[in-house]
Structure 1
């Protein structure tokens, strides 16, 4: 039996401030009914005073390490999927390493937007296939509220902040990550983008006036590509492992929009009880979306030994991916 990567602990963390749809009604021209009908979102959490990406990521990491029974000093690697780091340098992963005291661990961020956690698990899987004794911390953490234009009702209603984490190690048993499937199409990047704050468009008054520091999205086009890509990459994982859809015990998809989740469920022929949903509570938390959902499912005992789990994500870039595992 080859080395397999298994998840032995999960954790998540949310910021302190709850922002409901009713709260948004006082901030921008929208309504609770409009938001729920179009997105399924009822509320989201956003950072308050002193709360940063690395703060949330560290809290989620500590929760995952506690569940796993792993000390920070045992970690070999820390991977953080994020598009909203505290600073360009040092990385969120390095800041988490410092806060945890994980002096032995290498640490780096990766930028794959909403697919970041699946990309991170894929990298961890490759390391552990070579050395099953490794212990790797994979985190998805975002502070999207700092990249949202709160006067743009088409985007500000969608996003929330949060972090999720998983501790990954190896086994010789017939379980764990079975396959990962990663894709991207940079030609479509302008459909969902933050144009400013990088080296191509550094901070200037002109850049700020254009609003390039904020998320800009062509919603209908993003939806069209997202549903097609998610269905395709889900089938890719199923076919790679010889699974039929009725063998899937739980689908954890990126929580972007309830309409996307419903579309995917119908295309795969899954019953509602096999699709994990928490978008109504947190909104779209990008790279944090899947690990937060994974932690909730795990702590709710929806994942039992041997459960067949399918994860799928789609995000800006464009990036998308899937992962199949036996819990």
Structure 2
């Protein structure tokens, strides 16, 4: 399923958020499926009894609140059929009796169903509309037509339905019976769902939910009844269930063969290293001084606002408004790309070589920092070599260091430079938009983007643009596995475990600040390395979280530059994208010393203390309309010179 599409209104739509699809190739056992189903469908869904109790206790404050519960209940009711099976109304005489891949659901009458339906029908008109009465009435009509004609109990539905032969073993088994079936019964097609448009994002999402749920019962619902196996006549129609794809069929086959989940290895308790790993002192430890010849950025071509996220709310999300997303993450919009990751990286690489004035024959190494590439053979780095016309280079390989990708890439480039004494191309590129699926924390944060830098040898006697380079990795297993992709437990989508991410980020940020606070300022200047920093450009992980951690580490907000409000979290590309935007927006107007810390998946981290001259940054475009830079950073850049006494005073 496409990561995102543009509908006829020009709006972003995420099909996976409203059309549930599970990757059954990753399922090993019924227990694993049960975990996924409970998380995605059952945890937030009220039962019919819950809805009835809330109505009786006046627990609903609006029509929208009641409708949302109805939709969640109906997704839960369809939790197995919507993810595993195609429903095909079939004349009973034509249903195969011995096939192993045709199933009939065994159903139980819905206890007090009529009472629950009547309560919803009578309660809805007494509740006030939340936003738009006419729109809400239309959505309610679609949802209630499904809910009001439900006949069966949902709690005891099994994932694996009985075959027809198994169903017939008990004459008293109940299943759906339709007296007739119209194959042209109206349903919403794919474009209807995509092109749904409402002024209120929450209502647009709910309207899509209602359409998808309507399509689960493409027949005259009022005429449906539950019938015993021994009362079915040849001309009756039953609803036969067929595996929806080969992955489901193979999963059912594995279950039939007795497949069970494999035991997971238990991680050892982590131990501190025998001694700290010192940062690389570039001047002291290297012979060839690295120089930043250029930095270019390629932002995603499609803006995804917080309203777009809400318009695409998935059936398994808790309610959250656009303002709440901003308050929780600092993100107002994120950028997605319609290009492939390879195309995005190639754009950045080509622009970097052009900006640096370097030909392919001059490049000594190509490093690609990414954690979202599905290209293994050839690596993305070697792919770029071929596309760029690099006949041979000393080394070309991918680095998977997630959000610490830029510090890792720059450190590796500086090392390679010692061997080849030729420019090294470093590309940081990520495409998350097609790896998020319907996971809400990831959808709120992650974005697409690429940046490329050429690190070349400085002229004899010229100071390096890099003072210190540092990398780290690992920690407790909970932190190492705090961000996972692909994650079978979340349908192979990227998954973020917030508390563990915050723990590793806080641990590393504190360690970094202590390190650079203890190192001497370069060039024999007074004070520490920290005192000499003009601007801090951190990994744009989550603005709210980073500000909290920075404050805990003793850093004021006025020392940090953020662009996450407009770009989201682009992992390895986030720091170079932010440096570019700082130049574009006038925050960096002359050479400054930047501290660039990164931290993320795999419990990796690193930083670069580097000189950024705006002249080497290729500005891609003006600031977005209405998007002003951070006031403290802008004031600091326009009123004070780099590394000046006033700058140090402001940052102390």
- TM-score after normalising by structure 1: 0.87
Distance of 1:301 and 1:9 partners within structure 2: 18
Distance of 2:310 and 2:441 partners within structure 1: 13
Change (3 A) 1:98 1:44: same
Q: Which one of the candidate residues 393, 401, 409 is aligned to 1:112?
A: 401
Segments of structure 2 that go 5 or more residues without pairing to the other structure are 1-282, 314-318, 522-527, 613-652
Change (3 A) 1:264 1:129: farther
Distance of 1:235 and 1:139 partners within structure 2: 29
Matches within 5 A, 1:202-217: 207=488, 210-217=489-496
Q: 1:4·1:178 contact (CA, 8 Å) conserved in 2?
A: no
Higher share in strand: 1
Distance of 2:508 and 2:423 partners within structure 1: 31
Superposed CA offset, 1:55-84 (max 9, x none) = 111111222222222223321111001111
The match for 2:603 is 318
Distance of 1:263 and 1:129 partners within structure 2: 39
Q: 2:366·2:424 contact (CA, 8 Å) conserved in 1?
A: yes
* Count of residue pairs brought into register by the alignment: 310
Distance of 1:38 and 1:81 partners within structure 2: 28
The match for 2:510 is 231
Q: 1:254·1:290 contact (CA, 8 Å) conserved in 2?
A: yes
4+ runs deviating over 4 angstroms: 267-273, 298-301
The match for 1:179 is 468
The match for 2:377 is 89
The two structures, once aligned, show a CA RMSD in angstroms of 2.1
Residues 1:309 and 2:598 aligned together: no
How far does residue 231 in structure 1 lie from its aligned partner after superposition? 2.5
Q: 2:298·2:450 contact (CA, 8 Å) conserved in 1?
A: yes
Residues 1:137 and 2:137 aligned together: no
How far does residue 270 in structure 1 lie from its aligned partner after superposition? 4.8
The match for 1:219 is 498
Change (3 A) 1:321 1:77: same
Q: Which one of the candidate residues 449, 465, 485 is aligned to 1:194?
A: 485
Superposed CA offset, 1:202-257 (max 9, x none) = xxxxx4xx424111221122112212212212332343344353421111110001
How far does residue 320 in structure 1 lie from its aligned partner after superposition? 0.6
The match for 2:451 is 164
The match for 2:387 is 99
Q: 1:9·1:66 contact (CA, 8 Å) conserved in 2?
A: no
Change (3 A) 1:235 1:130: farther
User: Alignment partner of 1:253: what SS?
Assistant: coil
Q: Which has the larger radius of gyration?
A: 2
Change (3 A) 1:226 1:265: closer
Q: 1:234·1:322 contact (CA, 8 Å) conserved in 2?
A: no
Q: 2:595·2:609 contact (CA, 8 Å) conserved in 1?
A: yes
Change (3 A) 1:168 1:226: same
Distance of 2:360 and 2:383 partners within structure 1: 13
Distance of 2:480 and 2:498 partners within structure 1: 13
The match for 1:203 is none
The match for 1:282 is 567
Q: 1:15·1:46 contact (CA, 8 Å) conserved in 2?
A: yes
Distance of 2:332 and 2:451 partners within structure 1: 20
Superposed CA offset, 1:266-291 (max 9, x none) = 34555545422100011111111112
How far does residue 44 in structure 1 lie from its aligned partner after superposition? 0.9
Q: 1:7·1:168 contact (CA, 8 Å) conserved in 2?
A: yes
Superposed CA offset, 1:111-146 (max 9, x none) = 111111110100111122445x31001111111112
Segments of structure 1 that go 5 or more residues without pairing to the other structure are 197-206
Change (3 A) 1:322 1:84: same
Q: 1:12·1:164 contact (CA, 8 Å) conserved in 2?
A: yes
Change (3 A) 1:258 1:215: same
Residues 1:46 and 2:336 aligned together: yes
How far does residue 13 in structure 1 lie from its aligned partner after superposition? 0.8
How far does residue 194 in structure 1 lie from its aligned partner after superposition? 2.0
Which has the higher mean CA deviation after the structures are superposed, 176-185 or 65-74?
65-74
Change (3 A) 1:183 1:116: same
How far does residue 149 in structure 1 lie from its aligned partner after superposition? 2.5
Distance of 1:241 and 1:67 partners within structure 2: 33
The match for 2:581 is 296
Distance of 1:294 and 1:104 partners within structure 2: 31
- TM-score after normalising by structure 2: 0.45
Q: Which one of the candidate residues 10, 21, 41 is aligned to 2:306?
A: 21
The match for 1:36 is 326
